[in-house]
């Protein structure tokens, strides 16, 4: 089945406490020099073909529900 992927990330200027905690844990485990920002990935299965209309629908869904656009950015793409 065709899939649309939505990647959501905290905006660059926004504090990411989860990423900060992961960065700290990595350092404690010896993985030094890695700085993490954590987002989320949505896989959306689509009935039928992925048309431009479908992508637009997914974009609207991302904008209104999947991402909190006040503090997060999102990217919508087709899963290859």
List of residues contacting another protein (CB under 8 A): 10-17, 20-21, 68-71
Measured from the CB atom, is 27 or 78 closer to another protein?
Answer: 27
Measured from the CB atom, is 11 or 41 closer to another protein?
Answer: 11
Q: Name the minimum Å distance from CB 20 to another protein.
A: 7
Q: Name the minimum Å distance from CB 70 to another protein.
A: 5
Q: Name the minimum Å distance from CB 67 to another protein.
A: 13
| Sign of the four-CA dihedral 32, 16, 11, 57 | positive
Give me the DSSP letters along 2-61: -EEEEEEEE-TTS--HHHHHHHHHHHHTT-TT------EEEEEE-SS---HHHHHHHHHH
Measured from the CB atom, is 21 or 78 closer to another protein?
Answer: 21
């Amino acid at each position: 089945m065709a899939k649309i992927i939505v990647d959501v990330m905290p905006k660059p200027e926004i504090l990411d406490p989860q990423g900060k905690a992961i960065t700290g844990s990595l350092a404690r485990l010896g993985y030094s020099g890695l700085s993490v920002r954590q987002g989320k990935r949505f896989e959306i299965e689509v009935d039928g073909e992925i048309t431009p209309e479908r992508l637009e629908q997914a974009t609207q869904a991302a904008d209104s529900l999947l991402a909190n656009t006040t503090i997060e950015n999102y990217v919508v793409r087709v899963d290859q």
